[in-house]
Structure 1
Amino acid sequence: MPTMDRRRLLRDAAAGTALVSAGGLTAALASPAQAAPPATAPLAAAPAGPGRGPVSFRWWGTSGWRVDIGDRTILVDPFLSRIDTGLFKGAFNPATRLDVRAGVVDSLVDRAETVLVTHTHWDHYMDVPHIAGRTGARVFGTLTAYNLGLAYGVPSGQLSPVKGGEVLDFGAYTVEVVGGLHSRNPSYSLAFPGVRVSPPPKPATIADLPEGDTLAYQLRVAGGPSVFFMGASDFVERNLTGLAPDVAMVALPNTTVTADYAARLLAALEHPKVVVPVHFDIFEAELRNPVPVAPGDREKLDAFIAEIRRVSPRSRVIVPEYHRAYRF
């Protein structure tokens, strides 16, 4: 069987339990007190691979995930401090101090062996050095992520700079690094651009954490699903060729400056069986359900879901809830 056909077969056999329908959660967001319980639509269970236990995926808001493969834990963009910068109140303060809420972070991160960083803006990176110091996890990210880690005092032996194209073998799973792009604001620019080519002084404010180039990651679990993770809503189409994930965690586009975002993205990923929108929540609010969504972003989320269904009608759209364990 050709490689691409095998990937399609795996995707069509993708498994999951505790799946939340988009309509159910959207209703809950609009009127939590009156909404019906979210519908569930389990798929066939995936077989356990050799040498691993059950695989679960928990969303931690923004583009953050905890993935447990038996007793092994992978984190993607873990941002749990959720500090208030004024962003969702119309009073954004670039001089907001970086204040890691260790009690909150430690209550959720009991272990980690691998941390995957898509880019180094504060809402993706600021908790990573603390997590690395507490757990001994190895951190993968751009050269900027590497140099910022050194600035925080993370040992170089725990920092692994990557560029895109690497396929890394961890036994029970592999991680493919994918070169990506950060999303653009309405002025076709982005917040805090720039890279760190050497270790800077220890960052003090959110402006000290630049974008630093952007990556995406594809996780392939032995005997289980392949899952694509984005941390920002833009991409290099050619870099996605051949990935064909079973599940795609895709960032909500905040503007329309990226042409044909959903159509090009899902076509490049070969229309995954499951599509999970992320980065749509108020990520400065407490990590508690129902998921808080700003009014304008709720409209964008509904429009994005409708567009996904239009351009990829065979894909199942799942709008995640915080902390809920998903199995695909």
Structure 2
Amino acid sequence: MSARPLDRRRFLRTTAAGAAVVTAGGLATGTPAQAAPTAAAGRARQGAVSFRWWGTSGWRIDIGDRTVLVDPYLSRYDTGLFRGAFDPATPLTVDTAVVDSLVDRASTVLVTHTHWDHYNDVPHIAKKTGARVFGTLTAYHLGLAYGLPASQLSPVKGGEVLDFGDHTVEVVSSLHSRNAGWSMAFPGVRVSQPTRPATIADLPEGDTLAYQVRVDGGPSVFFMGASDFAERNLTGLAPDVAMVALQSTTATADYVPRLMAALDHPKVVVPVHWDNFETPLANPPVVGPADRRRLDDLVAAVRRASPRTRVLVPEYGTAYHF
């Protein structure tokens, strides 16, 4: 197998005016943090929609003059996970310089689950932008622990279809990935407000959700934060685009064939949660040999199970239009 066999097609990439600028030190200031600029102003034109991958399962979606974030984890600090020396007592930290350079605004934050690589930066972003945070009851109670007001937190369970005018968000009850022992890191929920979390172990999975965003006059896009799902909960979604999380083990049977069938074979699949999320946001994304093989296998499995589906392996910060 070659070192870089993946199809990194540019078929959905923006033109030069809207594409992200990347430097060796990470994402250039401005471009990924703002909607694709017009000649007159640095804000998205009314009706324009762009999607930018922020690593792990994180996304920035600019819909006209609104910004929706999914699992925005930008601090990306070292826990030892990718060095074989994982430390559950790693202190929770927020790299405010990085986060603030990329998050200039947000109206909504969608949280799939509350592990640190999904939730770590959410309270800071919510305080900075005033964004409303949607997530499980665990996400709600953790938000209170971080000092967010209850009026800014919206607990959801799955089945809700939320109307934001120019787009809707459908909440889907989902499942977290399973490790080689058919379990997961930091299981558990928060049924009441805890003390403020201090280490990554203080952020449990807290149940898992997925989301489908339907843009008025635009695409329907499905977002996963972990590589498992309940087939019956996906019936009828039929998204145009599916952001599909990489499997780290084979504990979930027939993952890709069942997922493609349940989603009615999306036009486009975008693999996520395959990068080393403890390295800076700089292209090309860092991926270890084992995860590279798993990513290759995921791409091949999608093509076998859904031959008409196009696979896009994303780069950080680049604006895609579906």
TM-score, with length taken from structure 2: 0.88
Give the drift of 1:320. Answer: 0.3
Q: Show CA shifts across 1:51-83 (max 9, x none).
A: 942100000000000000111000000000001
Q: Which one of 133, 146, 153 corresponds to residue 159 of structure 1?
A: 153
Would you identify which runs of 4 or more consecutive aligned residues in structure 1 move more than 6 Å?
none
Structure 2 spans left out of the alignment, 5+ residues:
16-44
Partner of 2:305: 311
Give the drift of 1:42. Answer: 4.7
Aligned equivalents of 2:8, 2:302: Cα separation in 1? 20
Query: Is residue 238 from structure 1 mapped to residue 232 from structure 2 by the alignment?
Result: yes
Query: Is residue 198 from structure 1 mapped to residue 192 from structure 2 by the alignment?
Result: yes
Partner of 1:74: 68
Aligned equivalents of 2:5, 2:308: Cα separation in 1? 24
Aligned equivalents of 1:112, 1:53: Cα separation in 2? 17
Between Structure 1 and Structure 2, which shows a larger proportion of helix residues? 1
Change in CA separation of 1:74 and 1:42 when aligned onto 2, cut-off 3 Å: closer
Aligned equivalents of 1:77, 1:105: Cα separation in 2? 13
2:5–2:296 contact (8 Å) kept in structure 1: no
Structure 1 spans left out of the alignment, 5+ residues:
1-22, 30-36, 46-50
Partner of 1:27: 4
Change in CA separation of 1:42 and 1:143 when aligned onto 2, cut-off 3 Å: closer
Give the drift of 1:38. Answer: 4.9
Aligned equivalents of 2:64, 2:162: Cα separation in 1? 19
Q: Show CA shifts across 1:110-159 (max 9, x none).
A: 00000000000000001000000000000000000000000000011100
Partner of 2:253: 259
Aligned equivalents of 1:202, 1:277: Cα separation in 2? 33
Counterpart secondary structure, 2:4:
helix
Q: Percent identity?
A: 73
Change in CA separation of 1:270 and 1:263 when aligned onto 2, cut-off 3 Å: same
2:9–2:312 contact (8 Å) kept in structure 1: no
1:52–1:172 contact (8 Å) kept in structure 2: no
Q: How many residues align?
A: 293
Change in CA separation of 1:314 and 1:212 when aligned onto 2, cut-off 3 Å: same
Partner of 1:187: 181
Structural mapping, 1:168-179, within 5 Å: 168-179=162-173
The RMSD of aligned alpha carbons is: 2.0
TM-score, with length taken from structure 1: 0.87
